[in-house]
Amino acid sequence: MSDYSAPLADMRFVLENVVDLPALSALPGYEHAEPELVYGVLEESGRFFAQEVGPLNRVGDLQHSRRNDDGTVTTPDGFRDAYRRYVEAGWGGVPFPAEYGGGGFPWIVTIAMQEMLTAANMAFSLCPLLTQGAIDMLLHYGSEEQRERFLPKMVTGEWTGTMNLTEPQAGSDLGALTTRAEQADDGTWRITGQKIFITYGEHDLAENIIHLVLARIPGSPPGTKGISCFIVPKVLVNDDGSLGERNAVHCVSIEQKMGINASPTCVMSYEGAVGYLVGEPNQGMRYMFKMMNNARLSVGVEGLAVGERAYQQAVAYAKERRQGRAPGAPPGEQSPIVEHPDVRRMLLTMRSQLEALRCLAYLNAECIDLAARHPDEDVRTRRQELADLLTPITKAWGTDLGVEITSLALQVHGGMGYIEETGVAQHYRDIRIAPIYEGTNGIQAMDLVGRKLPMRSGGVIADLLADIEGTAAELAAGDGDLAAIGKRLADAHTVLKETTDWLLANGLADPNNALAGATPYLRMCGIVVGGWLLARSARAARRLLDAGEGDADFLRQKLVTAKFYAEQILPQASGLAPAVTAGPADLLAAAF
């Protein structure tokens, strides 16, 4: 089984040529995060994740986490030591404020680090990822006393965090949750109920776990408007910061799953557990969506990350495996399968989609940073709008691609891909959850057409379409490969604009028109936006080649990849148009 190697050259190219890392480092509060320091952080963290965490990926899949009779959970061999070294290195605190022990780096740096950590070991990565989401939510909505008490050790990773939303009767419909909270005489709350699918709800990696729990207080309105958010520590924290009594929260079982087997997915029971209200009553859903939106970007990155690892393994296997004789090969010899055109098609399909997805995820993260720190209020507003628009696309298209790319990697391996010994099947099993959790991809599509397209009366998507049109026109006016890419992008832009206009007009008349076409429309958006960003990537590669700068072979491959995507992936957008505009009649007429 091949080892994972962080694609640092590809990552740096996107950071320099598709997004603008130097401009981010000039923003207030990010001045210390100069590009060369960022690249050093990425290089060292990539080495750490590949060497310290990557080898445990297979171990975790075979051993699983396991619940003990006393309710504790034991993670696979090596996980505790690797997590201890992760904490000692300070990787979890990179994006968070220095006042709580963090590094204060832009969020895009964390997204790049998440790509590498998830590729090295997706099951391991979920614990730091959820902790970072909990930190982010408390930074925005926790009281100063709560931040002082919990954040320093969460930022270091000494304590971990969870997100407790789902209940047996309340999956995607959180308005149906029944966990209740009653206020005690001392002003704290007592939480009672059961939560399911709680990732790292119990484990042996850290001495405390800070659960963020959604619950209802007496007299709250029905549905999502009556949900509050509470901090419920596994172990209560004394006023001096030391650990006190064990709280009344326990793991009653862990799930047996298709993948991410090292990650304990827990059923949690709250039995009058002490909790602390976050912010105002009945505002829990608004607070939790802050955590979930950043998590959705990170889940999209999971598709990129696991896809990248599967791609690397497929390339290595295709170079080693000999089968058949490729055209032009000497008689009597078996060729490496990488020389067969269909295998090359699969590999290039994987690579081009991964590069498009990396561009999209990093652009999404750049928008979050600019929305948070840019001194111009108009820029902050516009970038937040674009981040809001891109997030469901990154999450859904990214995770769909993760499943498709890992499936292609298995296909490259042929029959051996179906054999667990090669390890490639694990990537497919691991990533298959990503289109489901953090809001199913169908929900992401509904969010896109129902909430994001109407933003600013359609102005946000119109701005994005104008940028795509401008890039297409610029490249089409040139020559060679760039002109071919520009023409394909122009065709795809036309289709996306027409279907967008149709949804904006007909979705207002009947929401079912928009909902029926939501999923194919989101995929179309991903394909076209990805093609736009690869077109920009190709333009940058051509400029550097003409200037005699950079690695010429590396840059020429960027042009090859972008042209393949433009000619073989971008045209798929046109094929989706009829599904977008078909309307709901057939869907509603079908009997099941």
pLDDT per position as a tens digit, 284-306: 988 988 777 789 999 999 999 99
User: Tell me, what's the pLDDT at 294?
Assistant: 83
The answer to the question of residue 394 being in a domain is no
The answer to the question of residue 149 being in a domain is no
User: Tell me, what's the pLDDT at 234?
Assistant: 98
Q: How far apart are CA 64 and CA 333, in angstroms?
A: 43
Q: How far apart are CA 265 and CA 26, in angstroms?
A: 41
1 — pLDDT class (breaks 50, 70, 90): very low
pLDDT tens per residue, range 15-66: 999 999 999 999 999 999 999 999 999 999 999 999 999 999 999 999 999 9
- Amino acid in position 153: K
The answer to the question of residue 555 being in a domain is yes
Q: How far apart are CA 572 and CA 531, in angstroms?
A: 11
> What are the percentages of helix, strand and coil residues in the chain, rounded to 5?
60, 10, 25
User: Tell me, what's the pLDDT at 154?
Assistant: 98
Q: What is the mean pLDDT of residues 562-566?
A: 98
User: Tell me, what's the pLDDT at 453?
Assistant: 97
Is 424 a residue whose pLDDT tops 90? yes
Alpha helices by DSSP H, 142-238: 144-156
Q: How far apart are the first and last CA of the chain?
A: 44
The answer to the question of residue 91 being in a domain is no
Told to judge if 339 belongs to the known catalytic residues of this protein, a careful annotator would answer no
3-state SS assignment for residue 276? strand
Is 256 a residue whose pLDDT tops 60? yes
Q: How far apart are CA 57 and CA 429, in angstroms?
A: 13
Is 444 a residue whose pLDDT tops 80? yes
Is 413 a residue whose pLDDT tops 50? yes
Strand-pair partners of 537 = none
User: Tell me, what's the pLDDT at 569?
Assistant: 98
Give CA angle at 147 (146, 153), nearest 5°: 110
Number of domains present in the structure of the chain: 1
The answer to the question of residue 559 being in a domain is yes
> Nearest to residue 481, comparing CAs of 554, 570, 563?
563
Tokens 């990787």 map to which residue? 91
Is 187 a residue whose pLDDT tops 60? yes
Is 176 a residue whose pLDDT tops 90? no
Alpha helices by DSSP H, 175-217: none
171 — pLDDT class (breaks 50, 70, 90): low
pLDDT tens per residue, range 526-558: 999 999 999 999 999 999 999 999 999 999 999
The answer to the question of residue 53 being in a domain is no
Q: What is the mean pLDDT of residues 265-283?
A: 97
- Amino acid in position 497: K
State the average pLDDT for the chain.
96
Is 443 a residue whose pLDDT tops 60? yes
DSSP letter at 179? Answer: -
The answer to the question of residue 299 being in a domain is no
User: Tell me, what's the pLDDT at 290?
Assistant: 73
User: Tell me, what's the pLDDT at 332?
Assistant: 86
Is 383 a residue whose pLDDT tops 80? yes
pLDDT tens per residue, range 399-409: 999 999 999 99
And the tokens for 160?
């971990």
Q: How far apart are CA 151 and CA 454, in angstroms?
A: 37
Alpha helices by DSSP H, 121-230: 122-141, 144-156
Annotated catalytic residue: which of 438, 469, 474, 498?
A: 438
Q: How far apart are CA 537 and CA 561, in angstroms?
A: 10
Bridging pattern class, strands 180-183 and 189-199:
antiparallel
User: Residue 400, Cβ neighbours under 10 Å: how many?
Assistant: 20
Alpha helices by DSSP H, 142-194: 144-156
The answer to whether residues 201 and 127 touch, using CB atoms and an 8 Å cutoff, is: no
User: Tell me, what's the pLDDT at 291?
Assistant: 73
pLDDT tens per residue, range 76-118: 999 999 999 999 999 999 999 999 999 999 999 999 999 999 9
Radius of gyration, CA atoms only, the chain: 24
The answer to the question of residue 257 being in a domain is no
Show the domain range for 512.
440-592
Is 3 a residue whose pLDDT tops 90? no
Is 2 a residue whose pLDDT tops 70? no
Tokens 């087997």 map to which residue? 261
